[in-house]
Structure 1
Amino acid sequence: MKKLKLLVASALTASMLVGCGSNQLEGKTYTYSAELDIKNLDSSDADDGMSFSAMHACIDGLMGVDEEGNIVPAIAEEHTVSEDGLTHTFKLRDAQWSNGDEVTANDFVYAWQRIIKNSGNYAYMLGSDGAKVKGADELMAKQAELGEGEELTQDDLNTLQAVAVDDKTFQVTLTSPVSYFEELMTFPCYYPINQEFCEEKGAEYAKSAENVLSNGAFIMETWEPGRQATFSKNENYWNADAVNLDNLVLNLVQEPEVAATAFDNGETQFALINSELVDKYKDSESYKSIKEGYLFYLQLNFGNSDLQNLNLRKALSYAINREDFVNNVLKDGSTAATGFVPSGLSTSPSGTDFRSDAGSYTSYDLEQAQQYLDAAKEELGKDTISLRLLYGTDESPMDQLATYLQDAFSQLDGLEIEMVATTKQDRIYTKQANQDFDIACTRWGPDYGDPTTYLNLCISDNANNYGKWSNTEYDSIMDQVAVEADVNARWQLMIDAEKIMMDDLCYIPVFEKGSSTLQDTSVTGLVQKPVGVPYTFNYVDIAE
């Protein structure tokens, strides 16, 4: 599997002010301005890129990345795989938590059991949609059947075939081989948790700086939600010699204009900017466009009888001028989506990109869109079709997308759109989770570099299939993908699966997200990856 790698650079002075009006920190200090907040640093619960980057700053998993973004051992000093590809054995290096406890195999056992017991958002990644750990699917099915007040017993949890052979040996048994298993182990839902510390903190675990333990490059010192988090170098980190920074500062929930001004004033060394600022900075040496990896798409609620009509779904897709949106509205390096699996995610056994092999399923044709809508109205017996468009105002550029779509859909005669603005959390966990939407503007970032990280979203019983699209042929093909050992046959099955869901337009892909950034040029070593943890700060260094 080809790993997506991008090494980006930024810069800072050796000693600097931490944000506007903050106290000065001693030593090499790197300040990163983020548009989003940290949800928490609980690997069993966090599900967003900002939390992942903050979490990775202070917690190492079994595997990590090097300066070039390659997958390398982290807490696992040695990894062996059985001949049949089903048993993975990790020998752990000597590493410590920041309270002095040794990192042991039980820390991984406890964390993996806990995410299932707590029905964490990424619990499914242990099952057939991810690592395929033996016993995971059965545990999650049993968890779903429990009544109020009931929970899985420890005996239940011990059926998960992720076990501590001894303090330094962690062994995982799979139901079928997973070629990208090492890459999965870099993802936060597989990170370890110190059981005694976690249970002592209870509900407050990982929700504040004093309630987080580190076994990684940095220790969280302060965390003011919605404003700033600060970290200091962990001198007891197993790979401390590779860490050049003394301090890491994350400025949170920064508006692009504020972040750009801070960058100009030397108060931050990395700033995400929006399309309104691109023309101002695009000729600057500090301006860089990067590929984020997110696919922005429309999720359709098949509980709405109108949206069950394929011609209506085609009308919506054909009405979107994706090229105009990315080139003239976003202007940040984003590209028009041509399918549900983004370009650059993974390559075939022969080295070709999935999108090249799978082809294109999107196009803009307003006249054709109107014809599809007219056909839908006739089939539905309606003169006008009314739909609600749900989006979060706190997840840029979702508001720009929603506004553009409102205008695009208004070009169709007989289609009325009601805009429903809310927050990201309410959009996902309240409205979408309860099917209280018609069309939802949403996005997905790849958890690992394989097409299944997207294709699994369309499986009937996938937890993120809020629109409840269901297709038995699709499910059957994805079942085959899950067990197919022949890499070429598996590749073709994934192409076939995407064709089914795109022909039926269960989701409507819009664009692949790029980002415009300002990065000082005298700092190297910030690793940015469109897959998994977005940013790794371990190797950032400052030119003296």
Structure 2
Amino acid sequence: MKKIVLFLFLIPLLIGCHKKDKTVSEGREVNFSFLSPIRSLDPRISNEYPSCHVVKMLYEGLMHIDLEGNPTFGIAESVDISEDQLTYTFHLRDSKWTNGDPVTAYDFEYAWKKAVDPRYAQTGAFTFYTIKNVSACLEKKVSVDDVGIRALDAKTLQVELEHPAPYFLSLTSCATYSPINKKIDQEHPNWCNDVGEFFVTNGPFKVDQWKKSVEITLKKNDFYWDADAVKLSGIRIQIIPDANTQFCLFEKGELDWVGQPFNSLPFDIIKDKNVFDKIEKKEMVGLNWLFLNTNSRPLSNKNIRKAIAYAINRKEITDHVYQMGETPALKILNSELSLQEEPYFDDGNVNKAREYLEIGLKELGMTKKELGPIVISQRSSIFYLRVTQAIQQQIHEALGLQVEIEQSDFPVHFNKLAKGDFCIGEMGWISWLRDPIYMLDTFRNRSFATNMSKWEDSRYQSLLEKSDHEIDPMKRKEYLHQAEELLMEEMPVIPICFITLTFMKNPELQGVYVSPLKELDLRYAYFAKKEVE
């Protein structure tokens, strides 16, 4: 069988090309803060915020994302891809765990298989669905031994896919694809609960101290294969549950970064022009949207859902509430992932909204009064409350419907939506991939935990299935385009606006890569100072 051999080379762009008017200040520690504590440092559940930010600093998978946003080699140094694009054979470089053990293909096989084993599977298991038999394994239809992950020897890992996936190399850069030390996990299964001699990692940094609910400090990992390129001596992350306090500490120089991707900036600071002008912005591949519970009336009716979607004026909300340059969302995919330039529906078309409401009420055999109050559930947040209040007012004025708001802390809010205990649920959604499939795949099956609307459509499933097996990029894109069009016609979710990441940082902190996927890479970060002449 012929093989396509793909070679990628890591080019540390920021290390060897500093401007002459700057000098690199090595050995400095960078200071961040989170609003909430880190629940776990186990990479198998690292799709959760804020844990994922720390996990990405501690572990490295086969690939990582370079400064241009493309997959480049991490622990792998080359990969062979079969002509049918179903088999990937990764060849590993020499690298070590923080205790000096070699990182092997067996560590990857063990970690990935345990992540999809129904006995242990955590919330990150969904990121492995592209691999052969993972879905069947999670449904207990086949053994974990039948999953398409196999270490051929200590330096070679072979992966079989369910279907061609042009995004698979990028997928292996996700934190959930990190290895874990097989020997330690078998002998000390609780190794990741506390920092100790068995807590080993393989990325640019290692854990120094972890005072839960207080702070976590990381130090440079001298065993990291590319340690010479790492300029920071460490990272300190304090848990500060108030955004205004964080901003005050940043103003005093005690924090080097404030805002996203860790936390939102305090809403009121945008009123200060001197502060506002210093805010940096970057559009994300993601959006804020409203899940609609299609399992219960009245939102089981498509026309009622569309009435609400058309009643919302997103431009008014982005201009007067968000005020950070966000773009109104009239589709699911934005930026480089956009499948069509034109919107799929009208923003704030009140007349159309009223028409859909009238049709929906007739189909349900109900009057407007019989609908009762529509409840929007949201995370506890002063800022998001303002957004939801604007939506509440717009729906009431356009349709005459009573809308109530229910707030709860994010973990409670998330669980309510996951259980289907809601009417309309506010949520932010960031893609894990620079590919349209992730956002669209959310709604493939009613059984998916991420499909909080519990909507399912055989036509939609067929389009995604065709895209899965299509090798031609243009034909695949057209299937995905048709899927997004159908999703917006059925409206199980209402897009509000595309997310803009906003933050302020110490101007001396350079070389930080902020990805459109809301990830921060510090492996090549450094503090730069102007030379004294």
With structure 1 as the length reference, what TM-score do the two structures score? Answer: 0.86
Partner of residue 345, structure 2: 361
Q: Distance in 2 between matches of 1:227 and 1:334?
A: 33
Structure 1 distance, partners of 2:318, 2:274, is 16
Which stretch of structure 1 is more off in the superposition, 235-244 or 510-519?
510-519
- Whether 2:490 is the aligned partner of 1:504: answer yes
Q: Counterparts of 1:173 and 1:515 in 2: how far apart (Å)?
A: 35
Give 1:198's aligned residue: 185
The CA distance in 2 between the partners of 1:427 and 1:481, in whole Å, is 33
In structure 1, what is the equivalent of residue 164 of structure 2? 177
The residue aligned with 1:419 is 405
For 1:362 and 1:92, locate their aligned partners in 2 and report how far apart those are by CA, in whole Å. Answer: 51
Work out whether residues 75 and 95 of structure 1, in 8 Å CA contact, stay in contact via their aligned partners in 2: yes
Identify which of 439, 454, 458 aligns with 1:454: 439
Please tell me the residue identity of whatever aligns with 2:155: K
Distance 2:194 2:349 in 1: 51
Cα distance in 1 for partners of 2:237, 2:433 equals: 25
**How far is the alpha carbon of 1:433 from its aligned partner?**
2.4
Structure 2 residue 496 is matched with structure 1 residue 494:
no
Quote the Cα distance in structure 1 between the aligned partners of 2:347 and 2:360.
19
- Counterpart contact for 1:217–1:538, Cα < 8 Å: yes
Alignment partners' CA distance in 2, 1:34 and 1:280: 23
| Shift of residue 231, structure 1, vs aligned partner | 0.5
In structure 1, C-alpha distance between the alignment counterparts of 2:471 and 2:201, rounded to whole Å: 38
What CA distance in whole angstroms lies between the structure 2 residues aligned with 1:283 and 1:397? 18
Q: Contact between 1:61 and 1:188, CA under 8 Å: does it hold in 2?
A: yes
Shift of 1:426: 1.9
Alpha-carbon offset, residue 229 of structure 1: 1.7
**Cα gap change, 1:39 to 1:281, in 2 (>3 Å):** farther
Farther off after superposition, 282-291 or 515-524? 282-291
Letter in 1 for 2:335: G
1:135 aligns with 133
Unaligned runs of 5+ residues in structure 2 are 1-12, 260-264
Preserved contact between residue 290 and residue 333 of structure 1 (Cα < 8 Å): no
Identity of aligned residues (%): 27
SS in 2 for 1:312: helix
Mapped to 2, the partners of 1:33 and 1:513 lie a distance apart of: 21
One-letter amino acid of the counterpart of residue 249, structure 1: R
Asked if structure 2 preserves the Cα contact closer than 8 Å seen for 1:33 and 1:259, the reply is yes
> Contact 2:81–2:88 at 8 Å: present in 1 too?
yes
Indicate yes or no: 2:528 matched with 1:543: yes
Residues 321 and 260 of structure 1, relative CA distance in 2, 3 Å threshold:
same
Encode CA deviations 1:490-537: one digit per residue, 9 max, x unaligned.
111111111111011111111111133111212211111122x61111
Asked whether 1:260 is paired with 2:247, we answer: yes
**Equivalents in 1 of 2:402, 2:192: separation in Å?**
44
- The 3-state SS of whatever aligns with 1:307 is coil
2: CA distance, partners of 1:253 / 1:480: 47
The superposition leaves residues 293-338 of structure 1 with CA deviations (integer Å, 9 ceiling, x where unpaired) of 3311111111112112222112211221111211211112322112
- DSSP 3-state at the match of 2:284: strand
Deviation at 1:366, TM superposition (A): 3.0
Residues 455 and 167 from structure 1, CA distance in 2 versus in 1: closer, same or farther, beyond 3 angstroms?
Answer: same
Please give the residue correspondences for 1:147-162 in structure 2 after superposition, counting only pairs within 5 Å.
156-162=143-149
Change (3 A) 1:361 1:369: closer
The 10-residue stretch of structure 1 (291-300 or 506-515) with the greater mean CA deviation from structure 2 = 291-300
Secondary structure of 1:249's counterpart equals strand
In structure 1, the residue matched to 2:269 is 277
Q: Distance in 2 between matches of 1:540 and 1:397?
A: 31
Q: In the TM superposition, what are the counterparts of 1:230-379 in structure 2 within 5 Å?
A: 230-272=217-259, 273-280=265-272, 286-341=278-333, 343-346=334-337, 353-356=338-341, 359-379=343-363
Within 2, Cα distance between the matches of 1:226 and 1:355? 45
Shift in alpha-carbon separation, 1:330–1:506, aligned structure 2, 3 A: same
How far, CA to CA, are the matches of 1:526 and 1:190 in structure 2? 22
CA distance in 1, matches of 2:213, 2:336: 31
Q: Residue deviations 1:26-62, cap 9 Å, x none?
A: 9401112334543322122222242222101110000
CA distance in structure 2 between the aligned counterparts of 1:402 and 1:198, rounded to whole angstroms:
45
Larger mean Cα displacement after TM superposition, 164-173 or 414-423 = 414-423
Question: Quick check: 2:269–2:275 contact (8 Å CA) kept in 1?
Answer: no
Q: Say if 1:335 and 1:251 are closer, same or farther in 2 by CA, change over 3 A.
A: farther
Residues 326, 511 of structure 1: 8 Å contact kept: yes
Give me the whole-angstrom Cα distance separating, in 2, the residues matched to 1:87 and 1:376. Answer: 49
Structure 1: distance between partners of 2:79 and 2:486: 38
Which of 428, 433, 441 aligns to 2:418? It is 433
2:410 pairs with 1:404: no
Counterpart for residue 5 of structure 2: none
CA contact (8 A) 1:244 1:540 kept: yes
Residue 365 of structure 1 aligns to which amino acid in structure 2? N
- When residues 179 and 359 of structure 1 are mapped into structure 2, their CA distance, relative to the original with a 3 A threshold, is same
Partner of 2:174: 187
Aligned to 2:34: 34
> 2 CA distance for matches of 1:274 and 1:325?
17
Q: Indicate conservation of the 8 Å contact 1:177/1:485, yes or no.
A: yes
Matched, 1:97 2:89: no
Give the direction of change, closer, same or farther, for the CA distance of 1:516–1:137 in structure 2 (3 Å limit): closer
Q: Which has the higher contact order (CA 8 A, sep 6+)?
A: 1
Deviation at residue 281 of structure 1 after TM alignment: 5.0
Q: Identify the residue that residue 513 of structure 1 maps to in structure 2.
A: 499
Closer, same or farther: CA 195–281 of 1 in aligned 2, 3 Å: farther
The normalised TM-score by structure 2 is 0.87
1:123 aligns with 2:114: no
Give the deviation of 1:93 after TM superposition. 1.1
Kindly indicate whether the alpha-carbon contact (under 8 Å) linking 2:247 and 2:266 is maintained by their aligned counterparts in 1: no
CA distance in 2, matches of 1:212, 1:392: 33
Contact 1:294/1:446, CA 8 A, preserved across alignment = yes
CA positional deviation for 1:107: 1.1
The answer to whether the Cα contact below 8 Å between 2:329 and 2:498 also exists between their aligned partners in 1 is: yes
Answer yes or no: is the 8 Å Cα contact 1:432–1:466 preserved in 2.
Answer: yes
Shift of 1:201: 3.9
Q: Structure 1 pair 67/499, CA: closer, same or farther in 2 (3 Å)?
A: closer
Q: Which runs of 4+ in 1 moved over 4 A?
A: 281-285
**Matched residue SS, 1:176:** coil
Pick closer, same or farther for the CA change 1:319–1:223 going to 2, 3 Å.
Answer: farther
Q: Hey, what does 2:81 align to over in structure 1?
A: 81
Give the letter for the 2:455 counterpart.
W
Alignment coverage as a number of residue pairs: 498
1:527 to 492, 506, 513: 513
Structure 1: which amino acid aligns with 2:443? C
Answer yes or no: is the 8 Å Cα contact 1:96–1:215 preserved in 2: yes
Deviating more after overlay: 168-177 vs 39-48: 39-48
Report the secondary structure of 2:285's partner residue.
strand
